[in-house]
C-alpha cells in the first residue's frame, strides 16, 4: 500500500475514534450516507467487540458487508442480529436477499420463512420466498401460494408477476400462463416500469414460445428481443440457451460479441465470450478478449478485467501470470482507495498458488482484517508443510471468522496431514454446515469414513444437499457404490436411471460402481447379476466400457469359484465390443485384462497390452498391466519404467506409485521409495497401502520414530489388515512399549475370531 494511502487510513481511523466518545454510530451513519461504506467496516467491528450482543450493531455491520458485496462475511453477524427480536425481521430479510442474489435458493427460502414465522404477511419476505421457490425449480405450487397471498395483500403489486409466470411455466399450466403473460404485458404498457421489466417480459415470452415447441416463432421472438435490448444481460444470456439448444453455437458467440461491442464495460459479456472461445479451444482469442478489458478507461472495470484474466491464467496453469494479473488489479484499486481486504486475500492466494510465499506473507502484514491475515499465514504454513503451525493460525482466524467454509476445509486438510482425523472430520463437517457445495468437503470426509468402513456415515455425509448442490462425478459414483453396499436397491435404481437419462455417457461407470458395492457386500456373482439386469447394457457402446471391464473381472472371479457359463458370456461380449470398436483403446485394454486374468501365456498378455499402446501410447491401465507382467518376469527395471509412465499418465491414481515403490524397495532404493510415497500422501493421507509401505520403508531407518508410529496407526485405522498390524506391533516393540504391542496383537486376534465366527 502506498505511504500516502496508509496515512489517509490512519488519519481517518483517528477521526472516527476521536468522535466515538460522543456517539460513534452517528459518525458511522454520516460516512455511510456519503457512500463511504468501506471506511465504516473497521469502526463497526471494533464496536461489536465492545458490545458483542448488540443486535443493532450486528445488523448494520451485516448490511454494510452485504452492500460491499461480501455476503459470506455478513452471514455470521446477520444471524447474530436475528437473535435480537427488534432486528430479527430486518436481519432475516437481508440474509434472504443475500442468499437469493447468490443463487442459494434453499438458504433464501429458509431465511424468508423464518421472517414469515414472526410476520406472516411481510410482502418483502413473501416475494423473496416466492421467487426462490420458482428459481429452485422444485416448489412451484408453494410459489403460487405465496403469489396469491401477496395479491390478496396488494392486488396491484407488479413484482409478483415474475414468480407467478415462472411458477406457471414450471407447472405447465399453459392456459393460465398465457393469461398471466397477457396481463403482464398490459401492465407494462400501462405503467412506466422501465426497460428492465419490458425486457424481462420479452425474454419470458420467448422462452414460453420455445418451450411450447414453436421453434420458428421462438427464433423470431429472440431476434426481436435482441434487436430491442442487445445489451440487456438477461436477454443476451437467456437467448444463448435457445441458440445452443438448436446447436447454433456460432450464433451464440456472435450475440455475445455484439453485446460486448456495444457495452464493452459489461463484465458478464466479456467473461462469457472468453469462456466460449475457450470451449472452442481458441485460447489466444479468449485471452485477447480479456486483455482488451484491461485497456478500458474506467478503473473499476479495468481492475475487474485483470481479475478475470487471472482466473483464466489459473485455469491454464499459468500461475505466475495469474499472480501478476491480480497484482495489476490491486495497483489500480490502490490508486483510487484502500483495497478491500477480500481483494488482498485474492492477491495473496494467487501468490500462494504461484509459490511466492514471502510475498503472500507481506500482503498479510499490510492487511488490517485479522481473520484474513490468519488465513494467509495458515495457508503459507500449510504450503510449506508446517501443518501444526497452520492449524494454530486457522484457530486464531476462526475466533473472528468461524463461518468460512474454505478455511474450515483447508484446516481439515492440515489436520489430516498431522494424523488428527477426528479433527479433520469435524472441520469438514463444519464446512458442510456452512456451504455444502463450496468445496469437495463431502467427498473428502466421506472418503475418511469409507476407508474406516463407516459406510453409513460416509453415505449420509455425501448426500447432504446433494439435490440442490450436486456432487462431483466421483462423489455420485461413490454414493452409488455405498447404496449398493447397503443393499438399498431402490436408491441404486433411481440413481442409475437418473444417470441413464441425464448423463448417458456415464452409464457404464455407474453400473460398474453399483456392481462394486454389491461385490463388497455379496460377492462377484451378485455383482455380475446387477450389470446383467441392465437391459440397455450394450458391449458395443463405448460408454459402457467400464461395465464391460467389470463383467470381465467378476466373470473370471466367479469362474474361479465354480466354472460356469459366465466366462464364455464375457468372452462373447468382448468379441462384440471389439468388432464394433476395433481401435478403441478402452476396449483393447479390456481384452488385455481378460487375457491377464485368464492366465494366458505371458507373451500373449504382453502383446495384448502393447496393442493398447499402439492406439494410446500413455494408457495408464495398459502400462500398469505391462508393469505387472514385467514384475512376473522379474524384469524390475522395465516394470519400474512402466509404473512410472502409468503414474504420470494418471496422476490421481495411487496404485502405480505404490507398485513402483515396491519395486524400489526390492531394488534397495529406499530413499527413492520414501520420496515417492511421501509425495503421493499429500492427496492420500488415509490410503492404507501408502501409509503401510511408507511406514515399512522408514522403519528400516528407525522403527521407533514418531513418524513411523503415525503411519502404522493410520494403516491399521484405515483397513491395512494383518501387515499393518504387524508394522504397528514392530514399532511399539522398537519404542520399548511392550504392553502396547501386546494389546495391539490381542485386539487383532479377537477381531479375526469375530470375523471368522
> What digits encode the pLDDT tens for the residues 672-694?
999 999 999 999 999 999 999 99
Cell of 316: 491454464
pLDDT at 105: 85
pLDDT band at 212 (very low <50, low <70, confident <90, very high): confident
Residue 231: φ, ψ to 5°: -120, 15
> What digits encode the pLDDT tens for the residues 218-234?
899 889 889 888 998 88
pLDDT at 564: 64
Residue ranges covered by each domain of the chain: 472-573, 582-678, 685-757
Which of 86, 51, 92 minimizes the C-alpha distance to 74? 92
As a whole number, mean pLDDT of residues 28-57 equals 80
pLDDT band at 36 (very low <50, low <70, confident <90, very high): confident
Which of 653, 585, 660 minimizes the C-alpha distance to 622? 585
Q: Would the pLDDT of 756 be above 80?
A: no
Q: Would the pLDDT of 650 be above 90?
A: yes
DSSP letter string, 568-610: HHHHHHHHHHHHH-TT-HHHHHHHHHHHHHTT--HHHHHHHHH
Exposure class string for 89-111: b at 16+ Cβ within 10 A, else e:
bbbbbbbbbbbbeeebbbbbbbb
pLDDT at 1: 31
pLDDT at 459: 94
pLDDT band at 186 (very low <50, low <70, confident <90, very high): low
pLDDT at 190: 57
Q: Would the pLDDT of 247 be above 70?
A: yes
As a whole number, mean pLDDT of residues 723-728 equals 95
In eight-state DSSP terms, residue 404 is -
pLDDT at 368: 81
Question: Burial, 160: exposed, middle or buried (Cβ in 10 Å; 0-12, 13-18, 19+)?
Answer: buried
Q: Would the pLDDT of 20 be above 60?
A: no
For residues 734, 740, 744, 747, the Cα torsion angle rounded to the nearest 10 degrees is: 160
d(CA 198, CA 225): 10
Q: Would the pLDDT of 34 be above 80?
A: no
For residue 538, give Cα distances in angstroms to 70, 518, 558, 573, 585.
51, 21, 21, 8, 17
DSSP letter string, 97-136: HHHHHTT-HHHHHHHHHHHHHHSTT-HHHHHHHHHHHHHT
As a whole number, mean pLDDT of residues 659-672 equals 96
Question: Burial, 467: exposed, middle or buried (Cβ in 10 Å; 0-12, 13-18, 19+)?
Answer: exposed
Q: What is the maximum alpha-carbon separation in the chain? A: 92
In eight-state DSSP terms, residue 297 is S
pTM over 0.85: no
pLDDT at 743: 94
Q: Other C-beta atoms within 10 Å of 693: how many?
A: 26
As a whole number, mean pLDDT of residues 321-343 equals 88
Tell me the pLDDT of the chain averaged across its residues: 88
DSSP letter string, 682-728: TS-TT-HHHHHHHHHHHHHHHTT-HHHHHHHHHHHHTT--HHHHHHH
Alpha-carbon 78 to chain mean position? 26
Cell of 698: 522408514
pLDDT at 7: 25
Output the CA angle 485-512-530, nearest 5 degrees. Answer: 65
Q: Would the pLDDT of 374 be above 50?
A: yes
Exposure class string for 494-523: b at 16+ Cβ within 10 A, else e:
ebbeebeeeeeebbbbbbbbbbbbbbeeee
> What digits encode the pLDDT tens for the residues 398-431?
988 888 899 999 999 999 999 999 999 999 999 9
pLDDT at 16: 33
* Contact indicator for 482, 458 with CB cutoff of 8 Å: yes
d(CA 618, CA 629): 17
Per CATH, the number for 582-678 is 1.25.40.10
Cell of 135: 428459481
Q: Other C-beta atoms within 10 Å of 678: how many?
A: 15
Cell of 674: 520414501
Alpha-carbon 330 to chain mean position? 27
Amino acid at each position: 500500500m502506498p505511504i500516502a494511502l496508509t496515512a489517509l487510513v490512519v488519519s481517518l481511523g483517528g477521526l472516527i475514534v476521536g468522535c466515538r466518545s460522543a456517539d460513534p454510530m452517528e459518525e458511522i451513519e454520516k460516512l455511510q450516507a456519503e457512500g463511504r461504506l468501506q471506511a465504516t467496516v473497521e469502526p463497526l467491528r471494533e464496536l461489536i467487540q465492545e458490545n458483542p450482543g448488540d443486535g443493532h450493531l450486528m445488523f448494520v455491520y451485516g448490511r454494510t458487508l452485504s452492500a460491499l458485496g461480501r455476503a459470506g462475511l455478513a452471514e455470521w453477524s446477520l444471524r447474530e442480529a436475528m437473535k435480537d427480536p427488534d432486528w430479527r425481521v430486518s436481519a432475516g430479510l437481508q440474509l434472504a436477499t443475500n442468499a437469493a442474489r447468490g443463487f442459494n435458493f434453499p438458504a433464501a427460502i429458509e431465511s424468508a420463512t423464518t421472517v414469515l414465522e414472526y410476520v406472516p404477511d411481510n410482502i418483502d419476505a413473501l416475494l423473496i420466498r416466492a421467487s426462490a421457490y420458482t428459481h429452485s425449480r422444485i416448489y412451484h405450487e408453494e410459489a403460487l401460494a405465496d403469489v396469491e397471498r401477496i395479491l390478496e395483500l396488494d392486488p396491484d403489486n407488479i413484482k409478483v408477476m415474475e414468480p407467478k409466470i415462472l411458477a406457471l411455466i414450471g407447472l405447465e399450466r399453459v392456459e393460465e400462463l398465457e393469461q398471466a403473460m397477457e396481463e403482464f404485458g398490459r401492465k407494462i404498457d400501462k405503467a412506466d416500469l422501465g426497460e428492465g421489466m419490458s425486457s424481462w417480459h420479452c425474454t419470458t415470452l420467448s422462452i414460453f414460445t420455445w418451450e411450447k415447441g414453436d421453434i420458428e416463432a421462438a427464433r423470431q421472438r429472440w431476434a426481436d428481443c435482441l434487436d430491442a435490448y442487445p445489451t440487456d444481460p438477461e436477454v443476451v444470456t437467456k437467448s444463448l440457451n435457445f441458440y445452443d439448444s438448436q446447436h447454433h453455437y456460432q450464433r451464440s458467440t456472435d450475440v455475445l460479441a455484439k453485446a460486448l461491442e456495444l457495452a464493452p464495460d459489461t463484465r458478464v459479456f466479456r467473461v462469457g465470450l472468453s469462456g466460449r472461445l475457450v470451449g472452442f479451444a481458441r485460447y489466444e482469442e479468449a485471452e485477447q478478449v480479456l486483455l482488451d478489458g484491461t485497456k478500458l478507461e474506467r478503473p473499476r472495470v479495468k481492475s475487474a478485467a485483470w481479475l478475470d484474466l487471472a482466473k483464466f491464467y489459473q485455469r491454464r496453469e499459468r500461475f505466475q501470470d495469474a499472480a501478476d494479473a491480480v497484482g495489476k488489479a490491486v495497483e489500480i484499486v490502490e490508486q483510487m482507495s484502500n483495497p478491500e481486504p477480500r481483494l488482498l486475500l485474492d492477491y495473496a492466494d494467487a501468490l500462494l498458488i504461484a509459490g511466492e510465499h514471502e510475498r503472500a506473507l507481506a500482503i498479510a502484514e499490510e492487511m488490517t482484517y485479522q481473520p484474513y491475515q490468519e488465513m494467509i499465514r495458515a495457508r503459507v504454513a500449510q504450503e510449506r508443510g508446517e501443518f501444526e503451525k497452520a492449524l494454530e493460525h486457522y484457530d486464531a482466524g476462526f475466533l473472528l471468522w468461524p463461518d468460512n467454509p474454505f478455511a474450515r476445509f483447508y484446516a481439515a486438510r492440515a489436520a489430516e496431514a498431522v494424523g488428527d482425523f477426528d479433527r479433520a472430520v469435524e472441520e469438514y463437517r463444519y464446512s458442510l454446515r456452512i456451504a455444502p457445495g463450496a468445496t469437495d468437503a463431502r467427498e473428502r470426509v466421506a472418503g475418511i469414513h469409507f476407508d474406516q468402513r463407516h459406510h453409513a456415515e460416509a453415505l449420509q455425509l455425501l448426500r447432504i444437499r446433494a439435490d440442490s448442490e450436486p456432487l462431483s462425478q466421483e462423489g455420485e459414483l461413490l454414493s452409488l457404490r455405498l447404496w449398493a453396499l447397503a443393499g438399498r436397491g431402490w436408491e441404486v435404481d433411481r440413481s442409475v436411471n437418473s444417470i441413464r437419462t441425464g448423463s448417458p455417457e456415464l452409464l457404464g461407470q455407474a453400473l460398474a460402481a453399483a456392481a462394486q458395492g454389491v461385490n463388497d457386500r455379496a460377492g462377484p456373482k451378485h455383482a455380475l447379476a446387477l450389470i446383467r439386469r441392465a437391459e440397455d447394457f450394450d458391449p458395443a457402446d463405448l460408454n459402457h466400457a467400464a461395465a464391460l471391464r467389470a463383467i470381465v473381472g467378476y466373470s473370471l472371479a466367479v469362474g474361479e469359484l465354480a466354472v460356469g457359463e459366465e466366462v464364455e458370456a464375457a468372452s462373447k461380449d468382448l468379441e462384440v465390443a471389439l468388432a464394433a470398436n476395433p481401435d478403441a483403446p478402452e476396449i483393447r485394454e479390456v481384452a488385455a485384462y481378460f487375457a491377464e486374468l485368464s492366465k494366458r501365456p505371458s507373451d500373449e498378455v504382453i502383446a495384448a497390452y502393447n496393442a493398447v499402446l499402439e492406439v494410446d501410447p500413455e494408457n495408464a491401465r495398459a502400462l500398469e498391466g505391462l508393469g505387472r507382467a514385467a514384475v512376473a518376469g522379474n524384469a524390475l527395471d522395465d516394470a519400474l519404467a512402466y509404473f512410472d509412465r502409468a503414474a504420470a499418465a494418471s496422476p490421481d491414481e495411487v496404485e502405480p506409485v505404490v507398485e513402483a515403490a515396491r519395486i524400489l524397495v526390492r531394488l534397495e532404493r529406499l530413499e527413492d521409495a520414501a520420496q515417492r510415497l511421501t509425495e503421493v500422501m499429500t492427496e492420500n493421507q488415509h490410503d492404507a497401502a501408502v501409509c503401510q509401505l511408507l511406514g515399512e520403508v522408514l522403519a528400516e531407518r528407525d522403527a521407533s520414530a514418531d513418524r513411523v508410529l503415525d503411519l502404522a496407526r493410520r494403516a491399521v485405522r484405515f483397513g491395512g489388515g494383518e501387515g499393518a498390524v504387524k508394522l504397528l506391533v514392530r514399532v511399539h516393540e522398537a519404542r520399548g512399549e511392550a504392553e502396547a504391542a501386546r494389546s495391539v496383537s490381542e485386539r487383532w486376534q479377537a477381531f479375526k475370531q469375530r470375523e471368522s465366527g
